[in-house]
Amino acid sequence: MDGPLGLRKVGSYASVADAGDELDLSRLLEKPPPKLSIERQRSFEERSLSELSISVRAFDAAAAYDHGMFSPGMRSSGFDTPASSARNSFEPHPMVAEAWEALRRSLVYLRGQPVGTIAAYDHASEEILNYDQVFVRDFVPSALAFLMNGEPEIVKNFLLKTLHLQGWEKKVDRFKLGEGVMPASFKVLHDPIRKTDTLIADFGASAIGRVAPVDSGFWWIILLRAYTKSTGDLSLAETPECQKGMRLILALCLSEGFDTFPTLLCADGCSMIDRRMGIYGYPIEIQALFFMALRCALSMLKHDAEGKEFVERIVKRLHALSYHMRSYFWLDFQQLNDIYRWKTEEYSHTAVNKFNVIPDSIPDWVFDFMPTRGGYFIGNVSPARMDFRWFCLGNCVAILSSLATPEQAMAIMDLIEARWEEIVGEMPLKVAYPAIESHEWRIVTGCDPKNTRWSYHNGGSWPVLLWLLTAACIKTGRPQIARRAIELAESRLLKDGWPEYYDGKLGRYIGKQARKFQTWSIAGYLVAKMMLEDPSHLGMISLEEDKAMKPLIKRSTSWTC
């Protein structure tokens, strides 16, 4: 039997996904949901034949991966930098070669071995801050680029080094952190005299606001699966060390407490948005990564004495989490209209307005932002609070992990198309929309001068998000959207020196304090290009729908059961 990673099943690999991970993308191609048909047909006709064949290839390739038809020959890795286009009809863009060179310059070595990439290689900048470190989240697009290019060694080294760091005793002042916490970043100190290399790691103690990175552990699990899926090398994930590393991360987020929701309660600044931005509570970015990491772990955990209990807990949590997210975080025109008319002060389990959200708290902008067709997962849901902001990373990961149903995934893409100016503008892609201004900015960010309106995390545009958008586009069969975004990036990124982020409502200006030669801007571009060229790469970062998690009730008109 074929394993969940699309590989021959070896040893004790097994997964719930085996039964439910049935790929049904062909259904999407043949029969678009009725309410989407008019525009879908139009854009279908507008697409060139080559585009169409790419999207069909994307489906075929993803299907092959998930049906275990993977074979080393299908893997497009192994070609040389940067001529990855040789086998395709694409002309390599001149920027691709420059990007590879810049990516290689960012490599960090430990005792002669590459173990990661530095966050930014910006010699012009006087302030290095902590951009000379290898950040776990920043390394993900670098890792994918190397995997797609047939260079898995650095990814393996990185996974093992960070796993080793997880084993450290972690303290903030006198307080000991959970065993499973993964570092936000690490650094290699070279001593040229003694000829020694020393690792130092940050688990949040040196970060602004002293917040532990909740996303690091999730990205680590997701990357372990990407490595395994891309190389076919099951031996790394099967080692007792990796199995333990996964269990420790899972123990942190599956522990019992006072929770009444299956979502994960977080402090502000615990993820990509690592400064106070009003994302405390149950931020979509973390919930989507949590969901994806749970599904990846499920496919890699051994069903042995120690693993079995975690497998059972994961299955239960996934069930509750998908229900909660699809029901309460999902917003479309119909749902917005329903919330607008909600009654408050309802008690008992018959309450419709479960979190007692006061309709007056719905911000004005969302009524204009919401297209007639389309939808998205909102930023946060907790008692009497819905954060209606759009967050790019969480929504893209929701598509890739299949937290979004196929209908919801299509609706998210519809929203991106309908609100192109707001979400993409002149430089892909807004990390969050809209910006917080004036009094609200003072209260929510604590007057953060780096997060002024339309800058940095507060409505700034981050080129790194291009790879996530591209992956989501390929998965939903809409590569033309990614191509449009990539063209925008190509018109500026190299010329501007690969900035970390852009500012302004349209993302037209290089960010006020943006680093240049920001590695994840470079790697994000490369990954986007490689995925478009060879959509079979999608398999390493995407999970197909698990039918067992289909919603049981129909709550909104926009998705079917």
Stretch that binds ligand GLC, among 61-69, 132-140, 239-247, 257-265 (CB under 6 A): 132-140
Q: What angle do CA 216, 217, 220 make, to 5 degrees?
A: 85
- Least gap, CB of 213 to ligand GLC (angstroms): 8
Query: Which of 264, 308, 304 shows the shortest CA–CA distance to 286?
Result: 264
Binding segment toward ligand GLC, per CB under 6 A, in 44-52, 79-87, 131-139, 526-534? 131-139
Tokens 């790469």 found at: 537
The set of residues, in sequence order, having a beta carbon less than 8 Å from that of 92 and lying 6+ positions away, is: 82, 83, 84, 85
Residue 132 or 197: the one with the smaller Cβ distance to ligand GLC is 132
**135 touching ligand GLC, by CB under 6 A:** yes
CA distance 559 to 138: 34
Query: CA nearest 274: which of 425, 409, 457?
Result: 457
CA–CA distance from 484 to each of 42, 259, 400, 411 (Å)? Answer: 17, 43, 20, 18
Contact residue for ligand GLC among 16, 61, 110, 119 (CB under 6 A): 119
The piece of 135-143, 251-259, 352-360, 361-369 that touches ligand GLC (CB under 6 A) is: 135-143
Output helix, strand, coil percentages for the chain, rounded to the nearest 5.
45, 10, 40
Closest among 164, 168, 316, 171 to 245, alpha carbons compared: 164
Q: How many CA atoms lie within 13 A of 315 on its CB side?
A: 18
- Does 170 help bind ligand GLC (rule: CB under 6 A)? no
Which residue, 127 or 368, is less far from ligand GLC as judged by CB? 127
State the binding string over 207-246 for ligand GLC (x if CB under 6 A, else -). Answer: ----------------------------------------
Q: Which is nearer to ligand GLC, 18 or 132 (CB)?
A: 132
The minimum distance between CB 211 and ligand GLC, in angstroms, equals 11
State in angstroms the smallest separation of the CB of 274 from ligand GLC. 5
**At 249, which amino acid appears?**
I
Closer to ligand GLC by CB, 59 or 135: give it.
Answer: 135
User: Considering beta carbons, is residue 106 or 263 the nearer one to ligand GLC?
Assistant: 106
Measuring CA to CA, which residue among 437, 435, 455, 433 is closest to residue 447?
437
Judge contact between 359 and 339, C-beta under 8 A.
Answer: yes
Residue 143, amino acid: A
Q: Which residue is nearest to ligand GLC (CB)?
A: 119
Q: Which of 272, 400, 416, 429 binds ligand GLC (CB under 6 A)?
A: 272
Q: Which is nearer to ligand GLC, 335 or 451 (CB)?
A: 451
β-sheet bridge partners, residue 188: 199
Nearer to ligand GLC, 299 or 519 (CB): 519
Residue 492 or 515: which CB sits closer to ligand GLC?
A: 515
Beta carbon of residue 119, minimum distance to ligand GLC (angstroms, whole number): 4
CB of 417 to ligand GLC, least distance (A): 27
Stretch that binds ligand GLC, among 133-141, 158-166, 305-313, 381-389 (CB under 6 A): 133-141
Which residue in 75, 99, 117, 137 binds ligand GLC (CB under 6 A)?
Answer: 137
Check if the beta carbon of residue 314 is closer than 8 Å to that of residue 561. no
Residue 99 or 298: the one with the smaller Cβ distance to ligand GLC is: 99
Q: Give yes or no for residue 277 binding ligand GLC (CB under 6 A).
A: no
Tell me if 138 contacts ligand GLC by CB under 6 A.
yes
Selected from 21, 202, 268, 274, the binder of ligand GLC by CB under 6 A is 274
Is-contact 213 134, C-beta < 8 A? no
Complex with ligand GLC: residue 137 or 492, whichever CB lies closer: 137
Provide, rounded to whole angstroms, the least separation between the CB of residue 439 and ligand GLC: 24
279 binds ligand GLC (CB under 6 A): no
Q: What is the dihedral of CA 549, 555, 558, 561, to 10 degrees?
A: 40
The neighbour count for residue 483, using CB atoms within 10 Å, is 16
Give dist(CA 187, CA 217) in Å, integer.
18
Nearer to ligand GLC, 23 or 107 (CB): 107
Q: What is the 3-state secondary structure (H, E, C) of 405-451?
A: CHHHHHHHHHHHHHCHHHHCCCCCCECEECCCCHHHHHHHHCCCCCC
Q: Which CB sits closer to ligand GLC, 219 or 328?
A: 219
Site size toward ligand GLC, by CB under 6 A: 6
Contact predicate 28/37, CB 8 Å = no
Residues lying near ligand GLC in the complex (CB under 6 A): 119, 135, 137-138, 272, 274
